[in-house]
Amino acid sequence: MKIRNNAYFITGGILSALLTVIIVVGLFWTPYSTTAMNAKEKMQPPSAMHILGTDNFGRDLFSRVMEGAGTSFLIAVMVVVIGCAAGILIGSLCGYFGGLADIILMHICDTITAFPAILLALVIISITGGGAMNIVLALGILFIPSFARVVRTEYAACRDLNYIKSARLMGVSTPRILYAHILPNTLPVLIPAVTIGFNNAVLAEASMSFLGIGIQPPQASLGSMLKDSQNYLNSAPWYALGTGLAVVLLILAFSLLSEGVQQGSRRK
């Protein structure tokens, strides 16, 4: 993969590295307290002291965005980890062994992907109730098919290649063939799937928290902050704009990254 000189990859890489640093720092330290209220500094526009301004309780918005982005980021990462791990497991077994189970499972995957993830997540959440853990589980399960699909295609293509056949003849165990020999070959399709999945997860979590059925207060995510900010659009527009911009940057960074990777691998 020749991706070094790709403008999208570089921009996306720098942006996502920067955001990741801010988010990781935000897990341990924020410039101001994210909970302490300060009536004197209510709804301050952005200034040198508060670069994104303050909200209706006088809390520093940059600190709040750091915290909220952290929640959104962690949820998205967990969703992708669940979806990707289960997807690799199902995809590898289906692709390698084939048979009736493969046909049935892939049919189920196709049916699930036909429905927008948010709609299915809403169904699950309406039954199980909201909260961070339920969101992660619901979205994680719904993201399995997209990973299983791409992984399965690669495994089915690799199954009968000579190097796998010879590995089998040499007595390499099946798990080792599956995950040490074939898995690295799926990386070119898996990496874009992971970045796209991450973006979809950020978007889905933000949408659900925005609807008020995702992250519940006092915990804040970018989506739930945007929901609150809508009430102050008239008096404190920076609240909504700053928070929304954080969502956009987070998604943009990773989609630029995946665009760069895809262009780089295509040129090969």
Instruction: Name the minimum Å distance from CB 36 to other proteins.
Output: 27
Nearer CB in complex with other proteins: 155/210: 210
Binding-site member from 165, 231, 237, 267 for other proteins (CB under 8 A)? 237
Question: Segment contacting other proteins (CB under 8 A): 24-32, 41-49, 186-194, 229-237?
Answer: 229-237
Q: Does 257 bind other proteins (CB under 8 A)?
A: no
Should residue 132 be labelled a site residue for other proteins when binding is judged by CB under 8 A?
no
Q: How far is the CB of 194 from other proteins (least distance, A)?
A: 17
- Interface with other proteins (CB under 8 A), residue total 37
Among 21, 25, 104, 123, binds other proteins (CB under 8 A): 123
HEC secondary structure over the chain: CCCCCCHHHHHHHHHHHHHHHHHHHHHHCCCCCCCCCCHHHCCCCCCCCCCCCECCCCCEHHHHHHHHHHHHHHHHHHHHHHHHHHHHHHHHHHHHHCHHHHHHHHHHHHHHHHCCHHHHHHHHHHHHCCCHHHHHHHHHHHHHHHHHHHHHHHHHHHCCCHHHHHHHHCCCCHHHHHHHHHHHHHHHHHHHHHHHHHHHHHHHHHHHHHCCCCCCCCCCCHHHHHHHHHHHCCCCHHHHHHHHHHHHHHHHHHHHHHHHHHHHHHHC
Q: Site mask, other proteins, residues 80-119, x = CB under 8 A?
A: -------------------------------x--xxx-xx
What is the footprint of other proteins within residues 197-216 (CB under 8 A)? Answer: 199, 203, 206-207, 210-213
- Using rule CB under 8 A, residue 148 touches other proteins: no
Q: Is 248 in the site for other proteins (CB under 8 A)?
A: yes
241 binds other proteins (CB under 8 A): yes
Residue 60 dihedral angles phi and psi, to the nearest 5°: -70, 125
| Residues with Cβ within 8 Å of residue 127, at least 6 apart in sequence | none
141 binds other proteins (CB under 8 A): no
- The footprint of other proteins (CB under 8 A) covers 8, 111, 114-116, 118-119, 122-123, 125-127, 199, 203, 206-207, 210-213, 226, 229-230, 233-234, 237, 240-241, 244, 247-249, 251-252, 255-256, 259
